[in-house]
Amino acid sequence: MKIETTQVTKVCIKDIPNLDTLNVFIEDFRPGVGRIIIEVFGESWASSWTGMGDRDMETFFCSCNNQYLIGKLAPQLESTVTATSGMVDFLKKKVCSRRLEDQYPTKDRARELYEMANNVADDATVDDLGYGEAFPIDELLGDEWWYDLPKEPNHKYEYLKRIVGVVQEALNLKESME
């Protein structure tokens, strides 16, 4: 067993409007190689980089855009999610537009689908639509229907985007004070 001790910089960012205290742990292993951990109220995000040129972690982190950093800190986090409101209106509008495009053989089937849309919960999720019997979603939108559903910003993505922005701002202020 080999045990090493390394130098880690902790930056504590407090008094942020509508945000809890942020703890940022920065570790530079050598020029161009480092790690950052961002923690707020028990939730954390971390990533390491091995190709930062001759920059240290702080300089590199501040030079990157939010989308790239969020992709590294939370790779599974999508910027948008399926809208969870207005599903009934969305489905009814789709039925009407498909009927106008003559994609339904009869106006009776279009009327039937329009009425069936009333059985869908207005806050239906992708799982509700895909596995429920209340509405034949694939008939209306096709085999890969989930791509056609309305999207809205993902509040978790927006939250992390705000955190990354605050960390960048604080690191830039810290740099200018040194």
- Using one digit for the tens of pLDDT, what is the confidence trace for 20-57? 999 999 999 998 999 999 999 999 999 999 999 999 99
Same domain as 160, residue 75 = yes
The two tokens of residue 42 are 């028990």
Give the separation between CA 69 and CA 79, rounded to whole angstroms: 13
Which tens digits make up the pLDDT trace of 78-105?
A: 999 888 678 888 888 888 888 888 767 6
Structure tokens at 144: 């890969």
Residue 166 in domain: yes
Tokens of 173: 């202020």
Q: Based on the domain organization, do 48 and 25 belong to the same domain?
A: yes
37 phi-psi bin (left φ>0, alpha ψ -120 to 50, beta other) = beta
Residue 46 within a domain? yes
Q: Give the residue numbers spanning the domain of 28.
A: 9-79+155-177
pLDDT confidence of residue 121: 78
In 3D, which of 94, 82, 84, 85 has the Cα closest to residue 141?
Answer: 94
Answer whether residue 86 is part of any domain: yes
* DSSP 3-state of 157: helix
Structural domains of the chain, count: 2
For every residue of 38-67, DSSP letters joined together read: EEETTEEEEEEES--TT--HHHHHHHS-HH
- The rounded distance, in Å, linking the Cα atoms of 97 and 92 is 9
